[in-house]
Structure 1
Amino acid sequence: MGGVFVNYRTGDGDWAAALIARELAAKFGREKVFYASKSIQVGEDFTTRILQGLRQCAILLVVIGPQWLTKTDRQGARRLDSPEDWVRREIIEAFRTGLRVIPVFLDSTDVINESDLPDDLASLARCQYLRLHHRNDDRDVARLLEEVGTILDGTVPSEDVVPWLKKALADPGQSASVRAAFDAATTKALDALTDSRYPVTMSDLAEEDIPAALEARLVSYADDLAPLLKLVAAGVTFGDDELWSRALTRVLNRPTKRSIRFNEPWVAASAYPALLLLYATGVAAMASGRGGVVYRALTDVKVQASGDTALRALALRHVVDPKLAESFPSARGLPHRHVLSTHIRLCLRTAFEDISDDRDYEAAFQDFEYLRSLLELNDTAFTSLGEFAFHLAENRTTVHERMKTQLTADSALLASGAFGGVVNNVTAARRELESAVQGRYSR
């Protein structure tokens, strides 16, 4: 279960924020509630604790009273317009990291419009809200606790996830249940990916033992993400256009410790859960003929700390050193350039077992890696490639032919902005890919 962050403006509904925080703590436990005046200890870095608190939560409650929009600073400027305003910063960060944002309007406070807000807060006006009246606080708080509990504890129904999700995505009335299932699965995965469980330093490990230990860690990551991977694979296959992005954003931006030794393989491997989600999204998108989703996943989802896109941050070589992967026990003599690719393909197969057969799955996997490599080469001078490249060199795949229809000037993929919408850029990337394949696999 994730947590709840209570966002409020001092001097505007403090009573409600305190009441909500107290009732949430009584219902779900104090450790599941972030309320600044109680959660930040004396001497702690305020900024760091706020951001840590946000990233450990699944929900942001925005308490909005009658002065929330108009409250000004000492110079008479509206606080909400200041980039340094913490109410504003917390909401923006919550949207960026994929939290469920729920406005809670106090008493008769008017609902806000997009035009009332700075551009980067406009999404708040589109969020479904709750109300809390001081005269009916027992009833309204009870409803708030029920809604929060549904989100935090929401799980996929006991029947198999694939038929349930396929049916639910086709029913607008089930949108809240679907969203709750995705949020709960994401939160459960994040709860498992702790620094204590996956330390970023392993100084007592002999160098020759690192490959086996690292591969075991990757397998453990996959096990922890298994329910979420299955949800994402099915969701993208059956038409979800939002929830995969929320899940990938939250996992990619989960807080992790950093090692002083920047070449620690454990630090790099901490991105592996996000890489698995990216692949689950991409393979499902290619299987359902939706290359535009691949482009969005690679370029719209970003690392908040650096601004890097998933395309750059989750290149295979950035997650596991190919030379290190070559020594994985399962490598069995595979060329080091695609050991990790093979590992991911095998790890993800169970997420697609009720969606596609082996042949279709492997074709979609190749199509995704092929498209990802072209997009990498259009963006940078290097691509990690994958096992598909070896099959290309051996003339054992028809991925070139399969992808032609998705890479034309009038294709949906280019219309979505991939390759700048210019087919000549596709041609140039293909030439770079052919050169890279020949250079690395020619005999």
Structure 2
Amino acid sequence: MLLRSFCLALPLVIVTPHAGAAPPADFQRDVEPIFAEHCAQCHGVDVAERKSGLRLDVRESALKGGESGTPAVVPGRPEQSELVRRISSTDADEVMPPPDHNKPLSAKEIETLKQWVLDGAKYESHWAFTPPQQAPLPQVGVTHPIDAFVLSRLNERGLTLAPAATPAALCRRLYLDLIGLPPSREQWKWRDWVVEALNADMPYDRFLVEQLAGDLLPDATQQQIIATGFLRNSMINEEGAIVPEQFRMVEMFDRLDCLGKAVLGLTTQCAQCHSHKFDPLTQEEYYGMFAFLNTSYEAQSWVYTPEQERQIAGIHRGIHEAEERLRAERPQWQPELAAWEKSLLEKEPAWERLIATELGSISGLNHPTQDADQSLLMIGHPSADVFLIAAPALDGVTGLRLEALTHRDLPHNGPGRSRLGT
């Protein structure tokens, strides 16, 4: 029997483990943008638009599920997660987002969500509320940390640094970028306050309190009043033809926008009209914060040099010493002063307070009221108006006197209705 040898050539395939498992999906970087683009309209923060009672951007809601009671997300179990089943479905009646939404998920986005669920469906709070973690410094041969991060990213993209600007050009750019105009150091006291606070390592909570309400602190110092210049970094319109109240409100909205971005790390403007679609801010919360700022009026605060402050302190000491001498010389000065005032009033003609029977205004924007002491209160903010006051016949009257009074509801307690109380 003849035995023949055969040489069989077969393609050899060697299967090895993947060089590395798929990197875990990051919620803020990879998942949240998908939810925002494709899911938030029906399953986001807006209660009025939410479908099936399901909210995907909040972990508790996603794990609990909507009205059906089926968990949308089961961490580590994509095969048990309703979210994965619906985004993977080919049934037009079940697939999410629905076809009429016109925002279908790409294959890559579907895989990202599956991987995220498989990795444990980890949620992260809004970045503005997450304590910052120190990132490792890129080793790119420069000493300043900011330069290191900038140069590292440029290297990743194959870019090089632009030539260094001249000191004059750099100074001009910084002024125009940061404050719009280049005032002198003497004109920009708030900037000096910020620099001094940082150099003094002022605690952050104090840093915020003094800038937001330094003038309301007990016995506020000049420096604490200067700190409130932060709130003046908003738009101000003082043209002659403006409607003051309209632009005061514009200033308030801009001021809250500045506060949100600089302090809270949130964009707040969306919440002027509706609860924010992306940032964790409801319309009610927005106007709750707005109410704090809306009780304020524009102020003109005088800033004195150290020499002027010493002179002012000397004047106050002189006044105090003079008062003490007068008290020592005339212990009964208060009743004597009251008696003197009374004697002057007795020589005055008799004045009677006018009791109005009807009140009104031509514009209709103001609704005067008469208080128990017969004073008339006008609170509205028309630029100009004519007030109508009806009273009984004024027999035997030889003159009229108009007194402008202060009131707690007027800007700076009045007596005027302008933003300065004048």
Q: Same fold (TM over 0.5)?
A: no
**TM-score where L is the length of structure 1:** 0.23
With a CA cutoff of 8 Å and minimum separation of 6, indicate the structure with the bigger relative contact order.
1
> For the pair shown, which has the larger CA radius of gyration, 1 or 2?
2
Q: TM-score, normalised by structure 2?
A: 0.23
